Chain A
């Protein structure tokens, strides 16, 4: 494994590190892996997990690029007025172009934690070069969906808790905190369900394109509640039929901080990589061409 620091993109101002496999491990049938920023944490990722993921996957045979979106980490702020949602997708595409130009890689698997997962999914939706995405704790689908999922979780927990029922019946409940949460459920429901329905349609379209879609959640993460609003009962069926792969990491927070949860996350990513090495999730035509050659 070898690492190189680079400046790339249209204005040569995006800072990234590429981890290349050794010559012996290099394979032109494997997709390139791109790791996307989690929030404003620079490209090393929360708890340096991007570095660990990149080095692990490069050892298996993948070329892995981790980089900073403009204005994050070491990358320069953009000169235009593009909103982050658009510039992040565009810059991910510039990362793909860089890997194509310098490594000849034409297909990609994107990995992102939290907001990085959202950019991964958005890029996968609009770019056919993306053949797989590992979305780790995606939750920032927009304020309405998040607030609705949060309020819905509160009510689910509250309604199944005998102690809270007892408080409500005996008049000991704190109605000042209850009523805003109740209002949120009703006020944001319509908009949240509309957003959720659009995202569900996007997921179905990715599945139709046979994208290797892997959803990884920390147990109890709000992203799981969002996913429940988005796909509901369909989720179990899609997972059962292998159309998407759902993994839950127990005892982990949103960014898998503890070493034990980092190990579990690494294992999930490593398994995904091994599946790709064995031909799973890299597209049937790709496998066929590599078998023929």
Chain B
């Protein structure tokens, strides 16, 4: 007898135009697969590395519940082709499109659900609003404003550089950051990110949506209100959990949130 463990039954591969994107496909593990493929969109930079373990666990649980799952690395991130400096928002939105085509081709399902943490959620919502054909979406502590996101990361970077990264010369607070914790922030990337404002999106991103917040932070509540105004069918859950994208929680897998995500998707797509 062999015990099924996370990591079993996955297929690592390259896909998309010129096979530039790396993905891991988790085939549905139940006898009757559900008619909805799930695409997991990672956050960026250091947050990508810190969330990798959690995403693998989430993919494993979803596949056990009968969902085919594709988690993939955006261009210039993880194992995908390209340098970190080449990251652009339009490219990442195109990548989501490639991932959707790939999972549809692999599992033959018509419906797609996007799941994203932080900037992964933000990009999912932008892609969904642009395409108009996404069935379900889970936005987990999504970044609402690119400007605020950059400011927060710049503060984190400066603090860490000062305390533990061994940097003698410090960027001053009003200096434009050129890197965030070991990942470059180019002019083009900065401009792209600063334009992000989820609350200005006017198209419904998906038919069924879950906004999930790991703290009482007000912004996720504002996102729910905004989505309701777009006539989306939105559920909102506040599941108090460690923020895995920050340094001190980098080894945590927030199982309560994973349970909430899996149970919501299973309920909505029986």
Selected from A48, A71, A253, A262, the residue in CB contact (under 8 A) with B166 is: A253
Closest Cβ–Cβ distance, residue B178 to chain A (whole Å): 8
Which of A72-80, A135-143, A159-167, A278-286 forms contacts with chain B? A72-80
With known contacts A5-B22, A5-B79, A252-B166, A44–B49 Cβ distance under 8 A: yes
Chain A residues 44-103 with CB under 8 Å of chain B are 44, 46-48, 51, 70-71, 73-77, 79
Chain B residues, Cβ within 8 Å of A77: 5-7
| Chain A minimum-CB-distance residue to B83 | A52
> A76 near B14 (CB under 8 angstroms)?
no
Selected from A17, A71, A218, the residue in CB contact (under 8 A) with B22 is: A17
CA distance A44 to B184 in the complex (A): 16
Closest Cβ–Cβ distance, residue B55 to chain A (whole Å): 10
> A76 near B182 (CB under 8 angstroms)?
no
> B52 near A76 (CB under 8 angstroms)?
no
With known contacts A47-B183, A251-B168, A15–B49 Cβ distance under 8 A: no
Closest Cβ–Cβ distance, residue B77 to chain A (whole Å): 8
Chain B residues, Cβ within 8 Å of A261: 166
| Chain A minimum-CB-distance residue to B168 | A251
Q: Does B3 contact A (CB under 8 A)?
A: yes
Q: Does B181 contact A (CB under 8 A)?
A: yes
Chain B residues, Cβ within 8 Å of A47: 46, 49, 181-183
Number of interface residues of B (CB under 8 A): 37
Closest Cβ–Cβ distance, residue A68 to chain B (whole Å): 9
> A257 near B79 (CB under 8 angstroms)?
no
Mark each residue of chain A from 212 to 253: 1 if its CB lies under 8 Å from any CB of chain B, else 0: 000000111000000000000000000000000000001111
| Chain B minimum-CB-distance residue to A43 | B79
> A253 near B7 (CB under 8 angstroms)?
no
Chain A residues, Cβ within 8 Å of B168: 251
> A7 near B12 (CB under 8 angstroms)?
yes
Q: Does B136 contact A (CB under 8 A)?
A: no
CA distance A170 to B228 in the complex (A): 67
Chain B residues 96-151 with CB under 8 Å of chain A are none
Mark each residue of chain A from 251 to 284: 1 if its CB lies under 8 Å from any CB of chain B, else 0: 1110001111110000000000000000000000
Chain B residues 1-33 with CB under 8 Å of chain A are 2-3, 5-8, 10-14, 22, 24
Mark each residue of chain B from 233 to 252: 1 if its CB lies under 8 Å from any CB of chain A, else 0: 00000000000000000010
CA distance A46 to B161 in the complex (A): 16
Chain A residues, Cβ within 8 Å of B79: 3, 5, 17, 43-44, 51
Closest Cβ–Cβ distance, residue B9 to chain A (whole Å): 9
CA distance A40 to B53 in the complex (A): 9
Closest Cβ–Cβ distance, residue A166 to chain B (whole Å): 26
With known contacts A41-B49, A218-B166, A259–B10 Cβ distance under 8 A: no
Chain B residues, Cβ within 8 Å of A5: 12-14, 22, 79
| Chain A minimum-CB-distance residue to B79 | A17
> B7 near A258 (CB under 8 angstroms)?
no
CA distance A129 to B183 in the complex (A): 35
Q: Does B165 contact A (CB under 8 A)?
A: yes
Selected from A17, A219, A258, the residue in CB contact (under 8 A) with B182 is: A258
> B13 near A73 (CB under 8 angstroms)?
no
Chain A residues, Cβ within 8 Å of B10: 15, 74
Closest Cβ–Cβ distance, residue A52 to chain B (whole Å): 8
> A258 near B12 (CB under 8 angstroms)?
no
CA distance A41 to B24 in the complex (A): 17
Known: A73-B52, A258-B161. 7 other contacts (CB 8 A): A15-B7, A40-B251, A43-B79, A44-B49, A74-B24, A252-B165, A262-B182
Chain A residues in the interface with B (C-beta under 8 A): 3-7, 13, 15, 17, 40-44, 46-48, 51, 70-71, 73-77, 79, 218-220, 250-253, 257-262
Chain B residues in the interface with A (C-beta under 8 A): 2-3, 5-8, 10-14, 22, 24, 46, 49, 52-53, 56, 77-79, 81, 84, 160-161, 164-168, 178-179, 181-184, 251
Can you list 6 A-B pairs with a CB-CB distance of less than 8 A? A17-B22, A77-B7, A257-B181, A258-B166, A258-B167, A259-B178
